[in-house]
Amino acid sequence: MSRPDEIPRPPETAPSIPSGAARLGPSCSANGELTAKEDVVIQGAFKGQLRLPANSLYVDKTADIEADISAVQVVVFGKVTGNIQATGRIFLAAESRMKGDISASRVSIQDGAQFRGHIKIEKGA
């Protein structure tokens, strides 16, 4: 008889990046604090703080972020150095590279993702 943790699970599919979200394009770089009341996609470079208290952040595969991040949901396809706190979910895609601590009520890390840090699961983070 197999233990429940030994049952193979199908790989989780990555959330898709919404087309109507605000964007920092691949040729852009910014420093400072970004606060938004809409979903944001970062495709370029960003250093500082990212605050999306009621929305999601999508880190595109071309992105290079050095920031502390807080959002409802954070989906990472690119590179993030810094801590991430989400009230909902953090998703690290197979091609992502993350260095920092993460805290969320749900965390998904695909096979192949590079992650160095600590994970804290908080109910209703």
Does 99 reside within a domain?
A: yes
> For residues 115 and 109, is the Cβ–Cβ distance under 8 A?
yes
- Quick one: pLDDT at residue 6? 65
Q: Given a cut of 80, is residue 95 above it in pLDDT?
A: yes
Does 14 reside within a domain?
A: no
- Quick one: pLDDT at residue 5? 63
Q: Given a cut of 60, is residue 98 above it in pLDDT?
A: yes
- Quick one: pLDDT at residue 41? 97
Summarised one tens digit per residue, pLDDT across range 13-67 is 778 878 889 999 999 999 999 999 999 999 999 999 999 999 999 999 999 999 9
Phi, psi of 111 (to 5 degrees): -55, 135
Q: Is the dihedral of CA 89, 72, 28, 19 positive or negative?
A: positive
pTM of the model: 0.88
Does 15 reside within a domain?
A: no
User: Where would I find the H helices in the chain?
Assistant: none
**Among all chains, which residue has been given the structure tokens 């605000």?**
22
Does 45 reside within a domain?
A: yes
Total domains in the fold of the chain: 1
Does 30 reside within a domain?
A: yes
Q: Given a cut of 70, is residue 103 above it in pLDDT?
A: yes
Does 31 reside within a domain?
A: yes
